Structure 1
Amino acid sequence: MRVIAGAMLAAACVATPALAADRTGYQAIAAGDFTAAAKRIEAERRIFPDRPELMLNLAVAYARTGRSAEARTLYRDVLDKPAVAMDLPNGAVVSSHDVANRGLSRLTTTIATR
């Protein structure tokens, strides 16, 4: 299974939808509206709870709204599942595990520098 990933935002991979509908919260994240992104992604996760692009994007939204513990849990949940190849807009392909590890690292760095 391969999912399409979008921009690298705040050193975290943000997955984009393959269709125009913003079911992954990508547009809200790109616009800096992390609260709206979280709401949109939470609704989508009620339908698709195990999609790694949803978990990764929600982790970004949570991290940006001060919900670091919840973001950490989501990153770890991604790591507990099989890795999924994610295509980036620049043509690179990264593992969902690589993205989750980068997100965890960023959380740890952010907390350590506060």
Structure 2
Amino acid sequence: MIRTLALGLVAAASLSTVAVAAPRSADAIRSVEASAQVDPRDGGAQIELANAYARAGRSGEAATVYRRALTLDNVMLETRTGDSIWSHQVARHMLASATVLAAR
């Protein structure tokens, strides 16, 4: 099943250009947290939550959730631009490319 990242994970042809476009406000983050709690085994929801934390500057929490996503099934995600990408690919890239995230 392909899940569309409603929060707008943007991936271009090169994975090095992945950027997150998740909510910054506390209310928006609470909404994403609630969605992720509905099915905590949903790798796509965990990626969305990690993106929301990263965008809000909550890098430690983002790293924890990206790592959690790596323990779940590798699911196909659809980006806002219509590209497909695996959840583990996103999590690994975000952990490796963000020194702050990888160090925590």
TM-score, reference length from structure 2: 0.71
TM-score, reference length from structure 1: 0.65
The structure whose RCO (Cα within 8 Å, separation 6+) is larger is 2
Runs of 4+ in 1 over 6 A off after TM superposition: none
Structure 2: 5+ residue stretches without partners? 12-16
- Between the aligned residues of both structures, percent identity stands at 33
Structure whose CA Rg is larger? 1
Structure 1 residue 13: Cα displacement: 5.4
CA distance in 2, matches of 1:4, 1:111: 24
Q: How many positions carry a matched residue from both structures?
A: 95
Task: Give runs of aligned pairs for residues 1-114 of structure 1, distance below 5 A.
Answer: 1-5=1-5, 6-8=8-10, 11-12=18-19, 29=22, 32-108=23-99, 110=100
Q: Secondary structure at the match of 1:91?
A: coil
More strand as a share of residues = 1
Structure 1: 5+ residue stretches without partners? 15-28
